[in-house]
Amino acid sequence: MAAKEHISTVQLGIEPERLPRHIAIIMDGNGRWAQARGQPRLAGHRAGAKVVRKIITECSRLRIECLTLYSFSLDNWKRPPEEVAGLMRLYSQYLVGERKTLMDNNVRLVHLGTTDHLPQDVVRELNRSLEVSKDNTGTTLCLALNYSGRDEIVRATRRLAQRVLSGEIFPEQITIQSFSDELDTAGLPDPDLLVRTAGERRISDFLLWQISYAEIFVTDFCWPDFSLQVLHTALKDFASRQRRFGGLKHPHA
């Protein structure tokens, strides 16, 4: 990684308190990146995996509290079987290969989604990474693997419904906070910044509950071309925005 990519928040012109606590990224365009180069789609996923390491390391260095990466959605099972099989092999390899990155950077891994239908070796390596990193106190890396925002909301609703049926709580005791506590992101701040690559302008069933007030940054770069410079541009753009959360900054504006 080029030394010039490593710049401080002062050099970025951002005060630390203006950085997002939680960055969520929809990593799109791996397949298109590869096809544009006459390579198989899986080559794009391999190239994208290398970018993940850079972004995790940089977020840790900048002391970003939480980073969520949308890696594989429930809808992605609809892709060609050979591509899905290749992706699963890549996940297993990645979880082993990046364990050192997690530990060297004091990063705690959290899984968003379910393990249903995931290959046993992927589940095994995922659980190992979750276990070895659980006491790390730096950036929390949420890996949305086999994830769907709608599915997450349904799973949370079922858990609350079961608590009502068992008499543990009454329906009127269900609040925004108690619902949030049943989500895969329980205990984590909601994303402040949502980044989408490859120029797409849709949410794609990602963190539907949590991104209610997230600022959105779209770049035309495909994920394998997502550099630290692009990340820094997104951070500067975020820092320049006035976040009102439904209110007005100036009462008489």
Active site residues: 28, 76
Q: Is residue 106 within 8 Å of 62, Cβ to Cβ? A: no
The string of DSSP codes covering 207-238 is STTTTTT-EEEE-SS-GGG--HHHHHHHHHHH
The helix or strand, by DSSP H or E, that contains position 81, with its residue range, turns out to be helix 81-97
Calpha distance 85→144 (Å, rounded):
18
SS3 state of residue 187 = coil
Return the SS3 of 72. Answer: strand
With a CB cutoff of 8 Å and minimum separation 6, the contacts of 212 are 190
How close are the terminal C-alpha atoms of the chain, in Å?
A: 45
